[in-house]
């Protein structure tokens, strides 16, 4: 039977994946409409903003991460090796890579709440590869 921790992790995945997916899908859909206004505001405040292409890339990556989170959550519930452990690890590596990319390309866009986005993949890597390694084998 599935350990309680794996169930809890899948619930977090659904919540974080659902929220992140929703927010970034909206941001992908509306970026074109609001980008010019953002540029105008940044000129006024003197705070630089990333290019439109970069923002599209970051949002698209976030949507992919969210999809991976949700798919891996289904895998955790079924204790699946590929759907759970492999996709969960893929999400974590991609998330850490995305944060590193974001820091290198647009450090000013990082907010304190991105810290959670940084920590959650670390927790995922630890739990999947140390604590629940023998539970995701089906």
Partner 1 sequence: MTGFHVRRDHLKLVAGSYLRTSLRSGAGVIFLVLSMIVGLVLAGIAVIPIETLQIASKNGQSAEMAFNEAVSKFGPGVISAFTNASDDTARYWLVNQPALMTLFLIMMLAFLPFLASLAGFNQTSGDIGSKGMRYLLLRTERANIFLGRLVATYVFTLAVVTVIFAVVALYTVVKVPYYGTGETLWWLLRGWFACAIFLLPWVALAAWVSTTMEFPFLSLLIMELGLVLWIVIVYVMTKNLEQLHYAQYATPWGFKFWLIDPNPGKMLGGIAVMLGFTAVFTWMGLRHFDKRDL
Partner 2 sequence: MTAIAIKNVTKQFPRTKACDDISFEIPKGGIYGLLGPNGAGKTTLFSICAGFLRATSGEVHVLGCDTRKISELRGRLTILPQDAKFAANMPVIEQIIFFSQLNGQNRAEAEKDAAGALAKVGLSDSAAASANTLSHGMYKRVGIAQAFLGKPEVILLDEPTAGLDPASAQAIRDLIQELHSAGVTLVVSSHNLAEIQKMCEAVAILDKGKLVTWSKVKDLTQADRMQRMTFSRDLTDSERAAIASVEGVRGVEQDGPGSYRIAMDSSKRTIEQLSAEIVGKLVTTGAVPRSVEDGVALETKYLEMTAGKKA
Q: Which residues bind partner 1 (CB under 8 A)?
A: 3-9, 12, 45-47, 103, 107, 110-113, 115-116, 118-120, 122-123, 127, 131-132
Q: Smallest distance from the beta carbon of 29 to partner 1, in angstroms?
A: 26
Contact flag: residue 46 with partner 2 (CB under 8 A): no
How far is 47 from 93, CA to CA, in rounded Å?
A: 30
What is the sign, positive or negative, of the torsion defined by CA atoms of 83, 85, 89, 92? positive
CB distance 66 to 21 below 8 Å? yes
5 vs 32 by CB, closer to partner 1: 5
Give whichever of 1 and 33 is closer to partner 2, judged by the CB atom: 1
Q: How far is CA 44 from the centre of its chain?
A: 31
Q: Check: CB of residue 99 under 8 Å from CB of residue 114.
A: yes
Q: Would you count residue 8 as binding partner 2 (CB under 8 A)?
A: no
- Judged by beta carbon distances under 5 to 8 A according to partner kind, the member of partner 1, partner 2, none in contact with residue 134 is partner 2
Going by C-alpha positions, the residue among 61, 83, 81, 60 that lies closest to residue 13 is 83
138 contact partners, CB below 8 Å, separation of at least 6: 78, 79, 80, 81
Q: Among residues 53, 107, 130, 134, which is the contact residue for partner 2, using CB under 8 A?
A: 134
Q: Which does 14 bind (CB under 5 to 8 A by kind): partner 2, partner 1, none?
A: none
Q: Residue numbers of the site for partner 2 (CB under 8 A)?
A: 1, 3-5, 134
């Amino acid at each position: 039977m599935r350990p309680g921790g794996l169930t809890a992790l899948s619930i977090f995945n659904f919540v974080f994946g659902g929220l992140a997916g929703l927010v970034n899908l909206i941001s992908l859909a509306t970026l074109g409409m609001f980008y010019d206004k953002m540029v105008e505001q940044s000129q006024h405040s003197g705070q630089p903003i990333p290019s439109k292409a970069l923002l599209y890339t970051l949002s698209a990556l976030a949507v992919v991460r969210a999809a991976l989170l949700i798919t891996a959550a289904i895998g955790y519930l079924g204790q699946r090796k590929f759907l759970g452990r492999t996709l969960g690890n893929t999400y974590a590596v991609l998330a850490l890579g995305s944060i590193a990319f974001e820091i290198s390309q647009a450090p000013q866009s990082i907010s304190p709440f991105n810290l959670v986005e940084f920590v959650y993949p670390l927790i995922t890597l630890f739990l999947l590869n140390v604590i629940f390694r023998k539970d995701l084998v089906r």
